Chains A and B, each alone.
Chain A
Amino acid sequence: MSETHTRHWRLIDTGVLRAAQNFAYNRALLECHQENRSPNTLRFLRFKPSALIGFHQDVRQEIYLDYCLENGIDVQRRLTGGGALYFDEGVLGWELYLDKKSLGTAQMPLIAEKICTAVASGLSQLGVDARFRPRNDIEIHGKKISGTGGAFDGDSILYQGTVLVDFDIEKMLNVLHIPVEKWSDKAINSARERITTLKEEMEHAPQLEEVKEQIARSIGDAFQVDLNKEDDLLEAEKTLYEQALNEIDSPDWIYQHNRPRDDSSIKESITKTPGGLIRIGMSVDKNRSHLKQIWITGDFFIKPRRVVLDLEAALKDTPLSEMETTVRNFFNRNHVEMLQLKPEDFISAIKKAMSDDTVTHQKVTS
């Protein structure tokens, strides 16, 4: 049972909207919060099918634009950081507008952990084993069910995430540049090993209202607040929303180029080891020399199976110069059973992918 608290936050639910509308709300609510005009707020939201890039990303480097245009998928830029995403109506979005001071810490990673842990605990009330996975995911048995990200402005923060309730993985592969071979059963299976939905975990799609209720209750408990549902926004928020929508719902905002178009590439390698074949697919930001995302597959024996997924998560957004240390630290920290396979084998396989220019292909589509 949820306790009663003396502090109150607002709860709003804006239903299914276009991405531009959802992000115009992000800007309006964050700005009003920063000016002390809006209270701390939890918002639930959903999206019409949309490809969403992170605040500093370039559309053409992250998504297959032609596919989106042909299939009526909205393309938008988020206010929050992180990578590109595909959302549709089967994804439940949640977001919090808070002041850093009420969180008891100013450290961004700790804020993310506190919020993700609360949401994971809410999801677990539905009968699944959801947990926070550093740095920004919620997972069930190693498979990602929720990705999150934040934006800040002065003392105010917006922290947002998703829950995959029922999700079209195949469509996601068509929309996003993900480091796997497209159009193959293997790619779809690899994605299914890494991503899960509530429908899959619970063997039926839960009622959205129930999911929202559990998340709201858990956030209330974690932050010791009561959440009061409100149907209407403040006038100041509505005015700012209209202004923000004008700016965000435009090609200038969506397609702004933040960096050279050729600085991102997918690299691959296949390495034979005594323990089996290791296949690496990874996207690398060449200008900044960091590894953006990696998928590790193969026929090697490793136990528990989720180790590979956790290693992928640990390597996300890592400078290439720190790759080796990250892999070694990961194996030192975790108890892993491997058959004729050593941490060095993963390091060599990743190094091989890093140096193998012959398989590099630009992620830029025209």
Chain B
Amino acid sequence: MDCNGCEFLPELYYDDEYQIWLRREHDDSLTVGMTDISQTIAGKILHVRVRRPGTPRPPGKPVATIESGKWAGPVPNFIACTILEANPEVLENPNLINSDPYNAWIARVSPDEGADRALKGFLTGEEAHQGYCKRAMEEDIHCHRKYR
């Protein structure tokens, strides 16, 4: 499934601007990553820093920061959670987010109020697919990962 070449996975959960994806794990934790749209906009990612495991993060306070080109900024966070772990492979090779954004997860977090409540504000499935395509079309974002 894709839009303007930007890959979309219907089983994941997305914020309403499709900046991040969330995946529910068996232990009720959530895995966080950047979407194909997001990594395309960011360009080649050179640094990723994730807050230490055990750090509580309120909504609005980032779980991780990234740097691409000369740009630095947060990977947005919308839920109250605690950091469980960072993906060591991504810390070592941040470029994996560009080449494989849905496998190159950034962090795993434990939502304070459980996964069900945390995921309520996110979009998934067909509804998310439509919104994802709308953003790619409206902002004329084209992903070229497959041809790199």
Contacts and interface: CB of A to CB of B under 8 A. Distances in A.
Interface string B62-89: 0001011111111010000000000000
Contact of B49 (A106, A258, A289): A258
Contact of A149 (B41, B71, B74, B94): B71
A289 B43 CA distance: 18
A270 interface: no
B46 A290 contact: yes
A54 interface: yes
B71 A135 contact: no
A153 B77 CA distance: 11
A261 to B, nearest CB: 15
Interface residues of A, number: 29
Given A56-B49, A288-B46, A319-B95, A108 B69 contact: yes
Contacts of A154: 76
A109 B71 CA distance: 9
Nearest to B139: A106
A109 B42 CA distance: 8
Contacts of A151: 71-73
A29 B46 CA distance: 26
A96 to B, nearest CB: 13
B57 to A, nearest CB: 15
Nearest to B141: A106
B125 to A, nearest CB: 25
A46 B40 CA distance: 34
Contacts of A107: 40-41, 43, 141
A290 B92 CA distance: 11
Given A107-B41, A258-B49, A317-B46, A79 B69 contact: no
Nearest to B71: A150
B70 A150 contact: yes
A56 B69 contact: no
A334 interface: no
B145 to A, nearest CB: 15
Interface string B86-101: 0000001111000000
B47 interface: yes
Interface of B: 40-44, 46-47, 49, 65, 67-74, 76, 92-95, 139, 141
Interface of A: 54-56, 79-82, 105-109, 112, 135-136, 148-154, 258, 287-290, 317, 319
What 7 A-B pairs come out closest when comparing CB atoms? Answer: A149-B70, A81-B72, A152-B73, A55-B72, A56-B47, A82-B70, A81-B67
Given A56-B47, A108-B68, 10 more contacts: A55-B67, A81-B67, A81-B68, A81-B70, A106-B139, A148-B70, A149-B70, A151-B72, A258-B47, A258-B49
